[in-house]
Structure 1
Amino acid sequence: MAGKRLVAGRHSVGQGLQRTSTSISPQLELAVEDASGVRLAASVGAARVELCAALAETDGITPSIGTIKQACQVGLPVHVLIRPRPGNFTYTGEEIEVLEHDVAAALDAGAAGVVVGILAADGGPDVAALRRISGLAREQHPSAEVTFHRAFDAALAAGVDPAEALARLEHTGVDRVLTSGGKPHCTAGLQMLIRLVEMGRTHAPSVQIMAGGGVRLGLVPALLKSGVHAVHSSARTQDPATGTRANAADPLLAASLAAALAAGGYE
């Protein structure tokens, strides 16, 4: 269900892929909370970061404008999470106004893109709200990228048809969707990720599929084989005794993820 591109500045699914002489590898996006996290991401060769606040406590909310400005000074593309509160992804009109203002502020502060997720009353992506936000972002910064975050997984878990969800995103102006295949983590959602890549070719050819959620180094070969366009991780280690996760990325794990992705490209 390929659609006419509705928003100026829309990017193709080829953007964000690392090309070598013989293959194309999904690039790594790291989830970070500050400028030091951006510097770590740059040092391991990540393509970009998703900048958020309170990742461990809330799964991420919008960071402060000061944090955004500092992060954008590092030099790596920064995509800012725009999520005004924890909880569900169905927002009131006033909350959507907050989202719009935060998108504008993040881009003015130097962000290369924004990460949003808005669901309609029926549980699927809210096309009207997303089109408005994408349009406002590109009016302000024509090259801005827009990612739809794991609200997509909430939609799948609620029973929304994945092909329909992708088809909606095709008409919103978003560049990519972050998803674990509708499951708590990518290992459990791997078969759906494979299906989403296949369905995306027909229903959302302009939308990249980015795998994220519980990505472990051992899963990289399967993600490469799935054909996803990008891989997202916080690269935080977990204490097996307590089940708690570290507050920042582990440099060795981040470097290993980046190296595995770069070394294992798909044809």
Structure 2
Amino acid sequence: MRLEVCVDSDEGMRAAVEGGADRIELCAALALGGLTPSAGQMARAADLPIPVHALIRARPGDFRFAAGDVEAMLADVRWARQAGLAGVVLGAALPDGRLDRAVLSRLREAAGTMSATLNRVFDLVPDREEAVETAVAMGFDRILSSGGAVLASEGTLALAATCRAAAGRIAVLPGAGISEQTVGALLECLPVEEVHSSCALPVPLDPRAAALGFGPPEPRHTSAERVRALKAAMARAQAARDARQGLR
């Protein structure tokens, strides 16, 4: 059972590694849902002892990108590849919410042999089964999803349906608010082998910086202790799953 930890700082990368994460999703501005990390962050991440996947997202908001955004993201994918990162996390949508195959094809092609994750644009599509087929056809390795809910623990029915549609052809990576308290029930319902979490704790921001709009009043930062706790809870859930299968 693998744990992917999403981080948006050098400190977060170190905490993820220290806590025993199996993979990192590197972003900037997680408070905005995550944006493309800087070239400097990618270069530092390439030296880490675990695989790092860079989120490629030009701006906050929806996933309908203008031509200039797409060109910037193509350059970002090439930079991530040049830096030696293991993968990229991609997403793009049409005005009606369906996956934008034209843009995704260009981004996926630019990634070459890098691992590719379809990001939570999947949670906005009107037809999940159609989106699964598109992701499979385009060579994505996994789909990151909360089941369309604010928290993955509230989207288990949709996540289970996505797993059935995937039918082992593409991995489903549940994420959004997963913690050591909720992961057991989630893994009891879903036949997944990976989990995504920020493992973050709130850290108050200097009130003067918050007042000037430099950040949210209470940003969250990855905690090595939370990573360790989630890994331990996942191991217990895996043992329980193995025991249930042994009884069948």
Could you state the TM-score of these two structures normalised by the residue count of structure 2? Answer: 0.85
- Cα distance change, pair 194–245 in 1 and its aligned pair in 2 (3 A): farther
Matched, 1:224 2:194: no
CA distance in 2, matches of 1:264, 1:197: 18
CA distance in 2, matches of 1:238, 1:222: 24
2:94 to 120, 130, 138: 120
Give the AA of the match of 2:163. Answer: V
Q: Which residue of 2 aligns with 1:147?
A: 117
Moved more, 107-116 or 245-254: 245-254
CA distance in 1, matches of 2:94, 2:193: 26
1:38 to 5, 10, 13: 13
**CA deviation vs aligned residue, 1:55-81 (integer Å, no higher than 9, x gap):** 12x111111101111122122211111
**Bigger relative contact order, structure 1 or 2 (CA pairs below 8 A, ≥6 apart):** 1
1:50 to 21, 25, 49: 25
CA distance in 1, matches of 2:201, 2:48: 24
Moved more, 61-70 or 126-135: 126-135
Query: SS of the counterpart of 2:182?
Result: helix
Shift of 1:95: 1.5
CA distance in 1, matches of 2:147, 2:202: 22
Larger relative helix fraction: 2
Give ranges in structure 2 of 5+ residues lacking alignment.
204-215, 243-248
Is contact 2:8-2:26 (8 Å) kept? yes
1:250 to 205, 223, 243: 223
**CA deviation vs aligned residue, 1:76-122 (integer Å, no higher than 9, x gap):** 21111111111110112222111111100011112111111101233
Is contact 1:193-1:228 (8 Å) kept? no
Matched, 1:235 2:221: no
RMSD value, Cα: 1.8
Is contact 2:13-2:45 (8 Å) kept? yes
Shift of 1:193: 1.0
Question: What's the % identity of the aligned pairs?
Answer: 36
Query: SS of the counterpart of 1:218?
Result: coil
Query: SS of the counterpart of 1:248?
Result: strand
- Cα distance change, pair 36–85 in 1 and its aligned pair in 2 (3 A): same
Give the AA of the match of 1:207. Answer: I
CA distance in 1, matches of 2:53, 2:134: 22
Is contact 1:149-1:178 (8 Å) kept? yes
Query: SS of the counterpart of 1:206?
Result: coil
CA distance in 2, matches of 1:172, 1:245: 39
Q: Which residue of 1 aligns with 2:236?
A: 263
Shift of 1:133: 1.6
Matched, 1:211 2:174: yes
Q: Which residue of 2 aligns with 1:188?
A: 154
- Cα distance change, pair 70–208 in 1 and its aligned pair in 2 (3 A): same
Q: Which residue of 2 aligns with 1:171?
A: 137
1:137 to 98, 106, 111: 111
Give the AA of the match of 2:107. Answer: I
Point out 4+ residue stretches in structure 1 off by more than 6 angstroms.
Answer: none
Q: Which residue of 2 aligns with 1:22?
A: none
Could you state the TM-score of these two structures normalised by the residue count of structure 1? Answer: 0.80
Shift of 1:129: 1.9
CA distance in 2, matches of 1:223, 1:63: 29
- Cα distance change, pair 69–127 in 1 and its aligned pair in 2 (3 A): same
Give ranges in structure 1 of 5+ residues lacking alignment.
1-24
**CA deviation vs aligned residue, 1:158-179 (integer Å, no higher than 9, x gap):** xx12111111111112111110
CA distance in 1, matches of 2:82, 2:36: 15
CA distance in 2, matches of 1:146, 1:121: 23
Shift of 1:196: 1.1
Query: SS of the counterpart of 1:222?
Result: helix
Moved more, 222-231 or 180-189: 222-231
